[in-house]
Amino acid sequence: MIYLDNSATTQPDPEVLASFEQVAREFFANPSSIHQFGGKAEQLLHAARKQVADSLKVEPAEIVFTSGGTEGNNMAIKGIALEHQDRGRHIITSEVEHPAVYEACQSLEKLGFNITYLPVDENGTVSAANVKRAIRPDTILITLMHVNNEIGSVMPIREVGNIAKQHPKLFFHVDDVQGLGKMPLTLKNSGIDLCTYSGHKIHGMKGTGILYVDKRTRLFPLMHGGEQERALRSGTENLAGAVAMAKALRLIKQKETDQAKRLQGMQDYLRSELAKLPGVEINSPADAAPHIINFSVPGVKPEVIIHMLGEKEIFISTKSACSSKQKDESKVLAACGFESSRSTSGLRVSLSYENTQAELETFIQALSEAIQQFKEVMR
Amino acid sequence: MEFDHLLIRYGEMALKGKNRKKFIIQLQENIQQKLKGRFPEAKVTRTQGRMFVLLNGHDPEPIIETCKNVFGIQSLSLAVKVENEVEAIKDAALYALQNGENVRTFKVSVKRIAKDFPVRSQEMNQVLGGHLLSNTESYTVDVHRPDLEINVEIRLEATYITSTVIPGLGGLPVGTSGKSLLLLSGGIDSPVAGYLAMKRGVQLEAVHFHSPPFTSERAKQKVLDLAQQLTAYGRSIKVHIVPFTKLQQEIFREMPDSYAMTIMRRIMLRVSEQICRDKSILSMTTGENLGQVASQTMESMNTINEVTNYPIIRPLVTMDKQEIIEISEQIGIYETSILPYEDCCTIFVPKSPKTRPRRDKVNAFEAKKDFSELIAEAVEGTETVKMTDEQKAASAFDELL
């Protein structure tokens, strides 16, 4: 099998799985229980939180363990909106956000919030100047993704962070689900108040994630109850999940340091080979994140390519898995200004550090054959 | 070109006459100690009146963060070192200006210590100012309130160009004022007291009274965590854990309820003094604060303090609770401090403790019961744990994480 759909999800690392299994089996006590067994579980939770905080260079009290990217994004956006609505009801986001952000914002419109959806340029990037212009006296939140999940475009988070710093009354949330482990992002002193991460995109487990919440930031919780996670997310802690998340994060950070060049090299290879294939148009900008490359084969139905490759056990995707069930056109590609023949035929290859050059060579060969075959059949 | 030096300024220490050298060497050692593990290439050097960290390729940001927690440093600045040569100095000054954040106005201050340098300070100011203005746009000079002051020091060995001044913690290098034994309870106050003592150069050991099963492992771990967090501002801290259950039970059984708290405190001091003697520690430090709770009235302090003539350092004695909490938050230990575990003082609480205990009465009660054997036994059974600033030694969880 050649798995090239790593932005949808990744294969769990065996070490992460082993930790998850062992913790679930041996440390099943409730960390809130007073007895020594509960104490042990609590210590382990602290250790996991400390390790996560160290690797993100923030404080343990700023780490909230969540069930993943969707929860983190909802918790941040709705949490800020509900807590600070007396101060203002305006939120700034972009047209190319993941549905967990986009739909969360739309849901708030029903409650009377005002959302500005910023456009992107042909590279799929929001301009910091546009963000600055969109800020109003009643703006309480800017929420942007770091790396776009469909085409890998990288948003100017640092610049927007600096802008946010000059408006101390508004909060800045970053959806870094796709950037984690691939594109380093500094949290401390960056102007970022909240940042969402997911475990299963970095070879962790489904149902695990992290929301970074700057310690001065107050949120209205989505879950009320036993006041776990600084009362921001009640519910008995998923200790095995938290440990697995911490381990996955440690491993991916190591790879990010050691193997960045190799990953970039694989993407460069794909880009140059795809450019050689007749009828293929590359949608990802030249400075995209190193693990995503999106391309279109106008006139060729993307599902057919997916299935032809699938028969050879090569797995890539059309647009992001989360929006694949909607109508044919990619909202992101359309927002970039591509005409419909291109925005309805997008394909995405997303890499992980586990992929090899040999796999990519096989894939390019198979893709080229598939396109050829399609054209012959349809002629 | 890049900032490859960190200039360390030590303020108050410069005043300390004969001790000065000792203080500076201690500061250098303390900085080295902090950087050693995480930044193996970084070197700490001294020239006359200046201390530098040579970054040797390390990212400056985390090193600055680390140095900001070292007592004895008045302020820090990133610096570029260049030859005593006009063109090189010009380039470096331009680099410093362009690397300042949120800078619109600047000022150049030249100090010429090497008198053989051909251009005089005043003239050099103008040369550099002119160079900066003609090679940039959007910056202006403001000699009164500049956003950035670019300091140029032309010294004998080289010229240092520094930019933004980052404030340090001040105080004296830990280790220059001897050792003190901190009575660490696990509340908000005592770790702050420890921190403030360290600020005056004190090296700490700590004592904690543990009463299992009335106080839990978690409460003990919390104290160890607090001590560990304090090591960020100094050196390793030895925590002496005194088994206190027997003594406490005995006190509350044998002594009148209203005086039990006072007597318990007196016994804690007696145990602590014994530990001081054993470890050659010359004083104790407590988080006591006048008038905060019943045991901290003037009468109470007078009665409790009777049992020792060791100096007791009480850095918080005149502070308001809010001031204490602010420091606790600033130094990053508040979150741990407020974890809701019982400690030795919350389990055995008399129904109506005396707020104005008297020496004559307490001595009369204590005369009826000799605690010295139990005290010796507690000191004997004391377990010592050494907490260090380095990443925690392999814990049981390492494999899982």
pLDDT tens-place string over residues A196-244: 999 999 999 999 999 999 999 999 999 999 999 999 999 999 999 999 9
Instruction: Give CA–CA dist A325/B136, Å, rounded.
Output: 54
Residue B292 confidence class, pLDDT cut points 50, 70, 90: low
B254 CA to chain A: closest CA distance, Å? 31
In angstroms, what CA-CA distances link A256 with A5, A158, A264, A291, B146? 18, 19, 11, 11, 40
Residues B177-205: what's their mean pLDDT? 95
B122: domain CATH number is 3.30.2130.30
Cβ distance A183 to A289 under 8 Å?
yes
What's the mean pLDDT in A244-250?
97
The answer to whether A147 contacts chain B (CB < 8 Å) is no
The answer to whether the CB atoms of B217 and A22 lie below 8 A apart is no
B121 within some domain = yes
Identify all chain B residues contacting A214, using CB atoms and an 8 Å cutoff.
Answer: none
B333 and B225, same domain (yes or no): yes
Dist CA A139 CA A92 (whole Å)? 7
Chain B CB contacts of A47 below 8 Å: 395, 397, 401
Q: What is the pLDDT of residue B12?
A: 62
pLDDT at A83: 97
Same domain, B325 and B215: yes
Q: Which of A23, A34, A59 sits opposite B400 (nearest CB)?
A: A23
Q: What is the pLDDT averaged over residues B271-284?
A: 97
Does B275 lie in the same domain as B163?
A: no
Q: What's the confidence (pLDDT) of residue A6? A: 97
Question: How much is the average pLDDT of B339-344?
Answer: 70
- Please give the distance of CA B203 from its chain centroid, rounded to a whole number: 9
pLDDT digits (tens, 9 = 90+) for A17-74: 999 999 999 999 999 998 889 989 999 999 999 999 999 999 999 999 999 999 999 9
* Min Cα separation A188/chain B (Å): 11
Average pLDDT over residues B262-284: 96
What residues of A are in contact with residue B217 (Cβ under 8 Å)? 36, 39
Q: Are residues B358 and B215 in the same domain?
A: yes
Q: Is residue B315's pLDDT more than 70?
A: yes
Shortest Cα distance, chain B CAs vs residue A160, angstroms: 15
pLDDT band at B215 (very low <50, low <70, confident <90, very high): confident
- Average pLDDT for B353-365: 92
Q: Mutate one of B221, B331, B397 to test the A interface: name it (highest A CB count within 10 A).
A: B397
pLDDT of residue A324: 47
**How far away is chain B from the Cα of A244, in angstroms, using its nearest Cα?**
7
Q: How many CB atoms lie within 10 A of CB B175?
A: 22
How far is residue A48's CA from residue A242's CA, in Å, rounded to a whole number? 7
Domain-terminating residue out of B119, B139, B167? B167
The pLDDT assigned to B336 comes to 87
Residues in chain B closer than 8 A to A243 (CB atoms): 400-401
- What's chain B look like in SS3? CCCCEEEEECCHHHHCHHHHHHHHHHHHHHHHHHHHCCCCCCEEEEECCEEEEECCCCCHHHHHHHHCCCCCEEEEEEEEEECCCHHHHHHHHHHHHHCCCCCCEEEEEEEECCCCCCCCHHHHHHHHHHHHHHCCCCCEECCCCCCEEEEEEECCCCEEEECCCEEEEECECCCCCCEEEEECCCCCHHHHHHHHHHHECCEEEEEEEECCCCCCHHHHHHHHHHHHHHHHHCCCEEEEEEECHHHHHHHHHHCCHHHHHHHHHHHHHHHHHHHHHHHCCCEEECCCCCCCCHHHCHHHHHHHHCCCCCCEECCCCCCCHHHHHHHHHHCCCHHHHCCCCCCHHHHCCCCCCCCCCCHHHHHHHHHCCCCHHHHHHHHHCCEEEEECCCCCCCCCCCCCC
Nearest CA in chain B to A42: B218
Q: Is the confidence metric ipTM above 0.85 for this complex?
A: no
Instruction: Say how far apart CA A376 and CA B121 lie, in whole Å.
Output: 81
* Gyration radius from chain A CA atoms: 21
Structural domain includes residue B172: no
> Taking CA atoms, what residue in B is nearest to A54?
B391
Query: Do residues B124 and B212 both lie within one domain?
Result: no
The Cα A244–Cα A22 span in angstroms is 10
**Considering its fold, how many domains does chain B have in total?**
2
Whether the pLDDT of residue A81 is over 90: the answer is yes
Q: Which residues contact B356 (CB under 8 A, 6 or more apart)?
A: B297, B299, B300
Chain A, residues 17-46, CB within 8 A of chain B, namely 19, 22-23, 34, 36, 39, 42-44
Tokens matching residue B245:
């259950």
Angle between the N-to-C axes of helices A14-26 and A239-276, in degrees from 0 to 180, rounded to the nearest 10? 160
pLDDT at B15: 62
Q: Of residues A285 and A325, which shows the higher confidence score?
A: A285
- CB contact A58 to B (< 8 Å): no
Give yes or no for B217 touching A (CB within 8 A): yes
Q: Is residue B103 part of a domain?
A: yes
Cβ proximity of A242 and A288 under 8 Å: no
Residues B13 and B40 in one domain: yes
Is the model's pLDDT at B246 over the cut of 50?
yes
User: CA angle, A47 as apex, A44 and A50 as ends, to 5°?
Assistant: 150
Residues 6+ apart with CB under 8 A from B188: B287, B324, B325, B328, B334, B337, B338
Average pLDDT score, chain A: 94
| Sole residue written with tokens 């080979």 | A273
Torsion of CA B240, B246, B249, B250, to 10 degrees: -110
**Average pLDDT of the residues of chain B:** 90
pLDDT in tens, A129-177: 999 999 999 999 999 999 999 999 999 999 999 999 999 999 999 999 9
pTM over 0.90: no
Q: Which two tokens stand for residue A327?
A: 């109508």
Enumerate residues 232 to 251 of chain A having a beta carbon within 8 A of any beta carbon in chain B.
243, 246-247, 250
Instruction: Look at A247 and B332 and tell me if their CB atoms are within 8 Å.
Output: no
Do residues B222 and B186 lie in contact, with contact meaning Cβ atoms separated by under 8 Å?
yes
Residues facing B167 on adjacent strands: B75
Q: Which of A13, A22, A44, A45 has the most B C-beta neighbours within 10 Å, making it the best mutation to test the interface with B?
A: A44
Chain B CB contacts of A48 under 8 Å are 397, 401
Of the residues B117, B133, B167, the one at which a domain ends: B167
Q: Which residues of A touch B220 (CB under 8 A)?
A: none
Is residue A237 within 8 Å of residue A65, measured between CB atoms? yes
Domains annotated on chain A, with CATH: 2-7+259-378 (3.90.1150.10), 14-251 (3.40.640.10)
Same domain, B81 and B204: no
Range of the domain at B148: 5-167
Residue B144 and residue B65 share a domain: yes
Amino acid letter at B140? T
B400 closest CB neighbour out of A34, A42, A243 = A243
The pLDDT of residue B247 is above 90: yes
Task: Check: CB of residue B78 under 8 Å from CB of residue B163.
Answer: yes
The 10s digit of each residue's pLDDT in A180-192 is 999 999 999 899 9
Q: Would residue B94 count as lying in a domain? A: yes
* Buried-exposed string B135-159: b where 16+ CB fall within 10 A, e elsewhere: eeeebeeeeeebbbbbbbbbbeebb
Nearest-neighbour CA in chain A from B38: distance (Å): 13
Indicate whether A379 pLDDT > 80. Answer: no
Interchain contact B395–A (C-beta under 8 A): yes
- Tell which wins on pLDDT, A188 or B11: A188
Determine which of B46-50, B232-236, B332-336, B343-347 has the lowest per-residue pLDDT on average.
B343-347
Q: Quick one: closest CA in A to B220, which residue?
A: A39
Residues of B in contact with A61 (CB under 8 A): 335
Give the list of residues 6+ apart from residue A251 with CB closer than 8 angstroms, or none. Answer: A13, A15, A16, A202, A203
B401 touches chain A (CB under 8 A): yes
Whether B228 and B146 map to the same domain: the answer is: no
pLDDT for the residue numbered B335: 85
Looking at the fold, whether B308 and B394 belong to one and the same domain comes out as yes
- Measured at the CA of A319, the angle between CA A315 and CA A321, to 5 degrees, comes to 70
Give the one of A39, A59, A246 whose C-beta lies nearest to B401's C-beta.
A246
Helices (H), chain A: 14-26, 36-56, 69-84, 99-110, 128-134, 157-165, 239-276, 302-311, 331-335, 340-343, 357-378
Mean pLDDT of A243-256: 97
Q: Which pLDDT belongs to residue B14?
A: 58
**Residues of A designated catalytic:** 322
Tokens of B283: 């004083």
Q: Which of B142, B167, B192 is the last residue of a domain?
A: B167
CB contact B37 to A (< 8 Å): no
Q: Is the previous residue joined to B213 through a cis bond, with omega within 30 degrees of 0?
A: yes
CATH code, domain with B301: 3.40.50.620
With CB atoms and an 8 Å threshold, state whether A61 touches B397.
Answer: no
* Interface touch A44/B221, C-beta < 8 Å: no
pLDDT tens string B91-146 = 999 999 988 877 889 999 999 989 999 999 999 999 999 999 999 888 999 989 99
Considering the domain architecture, whether residues B51 and B188 belong to the same structural domain is answered as: no
Does B173 fall in a domain?
no
Q: Say if residue B190 is in the same domain as residue B158.
A: no
Note whether B201 and B232 are within 8 A (CB): no
